[in-house]
Structure formats: C-alpha cells, structure tokens
Amino acid sequence: MELQTQSPDQCERFTQGEIDAFEELFRQHQNEVYRWLLRVVRNRAAAEDLTIEVFWRIYRARARFDPTRSFGAWARRIASNAAMDYLKRTPAEVPLLEDCGSSLEMETAARREMHDVIEQVFRQLPAKLQLTARLALIEELPYREIAEALGISEGAVKLRVFRATRILRKKLKQAGIEP
C-alpha cells in the first residue's frame, strides 16, 4: 500500500479533534485503505464498509495517535485488524455450479469447480493465517511490508506462511487436488 505523507500540523490538529483535519486525512488515505482491504476481503461492498469502519476506529482513537509517526502506517495496521475481524466473522461460501452439457462447458465447469474448492479451502484457514497467506502468496507483498502492516516480526510472517502452506496442502490433498 502506497503511503501518502501528511504534515505534522495536520496530524496534530487531528489528534486534538478537529474534524476538518480528519476530513483532510480521510480524503488523502481512503483509497489506499480501500485498496488494502479489497486485497484481503475481495469484495467491493465489504471493502467500502470496512473502510468506513477503519476510519471510525481511527477517529475514536485520535487522542492516542502520535503525530510524529506515519498516519498511513497506523491506518494500515488498523485496516489489517479490521480485515482480520471480517475474516473471522464471515463464513467461507462457495457458489453452486450450474449443470452443463457440452465438453467445452464441462471443461470450464471443471476449472470453475477447482477454483471454488481452492477458494473454499483457503477461506477455511484460521483468520490470521488466511490474511498473512493472502498477502504473501496471492498479493506477493514483501514479508517486511506484511510484518509492518500486521504489527508482527518477519519471522512471524514466515511462520504463518509455513503453517498456512502445510494446512492448504493437506486440505487440498483431502479434496483430491495435488499440485
């Protein structure tokens, strides 16, 4: 997520509760936060709702923000926590396949079925592992960036990816898929 810079004065006014300052920061960072959330939740409407939720949490915690630090990095940390909460409460749902006749449609249907199985297996991962694995394996973000966003060490990121990989391989094998 690209981090925009903000002036210390702007952040100072924000921590003191000035709504204008909050609006400025909101407008500067809403798209970054949205893009970050979209990468994880993969749903536009949910990402929009979560963007509002993230900035609401930011607004409530404004007095605790250190204006000398990066607002963007703080926002991304809060966004990651909000995304994790979303993954915890949202069950993995897979769309049903439609019946089809021709071999070409069956090939597409078979591919679609594999996609659905893989998606469902992925979403069955515990929220922490799912979030980390999504950012590392699908979005291919550097481990350092993921570590900063989640507030954990790079070693912890590697461990989560390792655990997620192990679970994914096991579950895919149970579903008859061996990469």
Partner 1 sequence: MRDEKDQRLYALLKQHLSPVRGDLDDDLWPRMLERINEHSIQRVSWLDWALLGLVMLLLAVAPNVIPILLYQL
Binding mask 27-66 for partner 1 (x = CB under 8 A): x--xx--xx--xx--x-x---x--xx--xx--x-------
Shortest approach of partner 1 to residue 137 CB, angstroms? Answer: 5
Cα torsion for 23, 65, 139, 24, to the nearest 10°?
Answer: 10
Position 154 contacts partner 1 (CB under 8 A): no
Is the CB of residue 58 less than 8 Å from the CB of residue 78?
yes
Q: Please check whether residue 41 is in contact with residue 87, taking contact to mean a CB–CB distance below 8 angstroms.
A: yes
Return the range that interacts with partner 1 (CB under 8 A); candidates 7-15, 25-33, 78-86, 101-109: 25-33
**Min. distance of Cβ 99 from partner 1 in angstroms?**
22
Binding-site member from 7, 8, 9, 19 for partner 1 (CB under 8 A): 19
- Contact at 8 Å (CB) between 122 and 130? yes
Give the burial string for 49-76 (b: 16+ CB within 10 Å, else e).
Answer: ebbebbbeebeeebeebebeeebbebbb
**Phi and psi dihedrals of 115, rounded to 5?**
-60, -45
CB 83 within 8 A of CB 15: no
Nearer to partner 1, 59 or 152 (CB): 59
Residue positions counted in the chain? 179
Taking CB under 8 A as the criterion, which residues in 105-144 touch partner 1? 114-115, 118-119, 122, 137-140
Nearer to partner 1, 111 or 144 (CB): 111
Q: How far is CA 101 from the centre of its chain?
A: 38
**C-beta of 105 vs 139, nearer to partner 1:** 139
**Which residues lie near partner 1 (CB under 8 A)?**
19, 23, 26-27, 30-31, 34-35, 38-39, 42, 44, 48, 51-52, 55-56, 59, 114-115, 118-119, 122, 137-140, 165, 168-169, 172, 177, 179
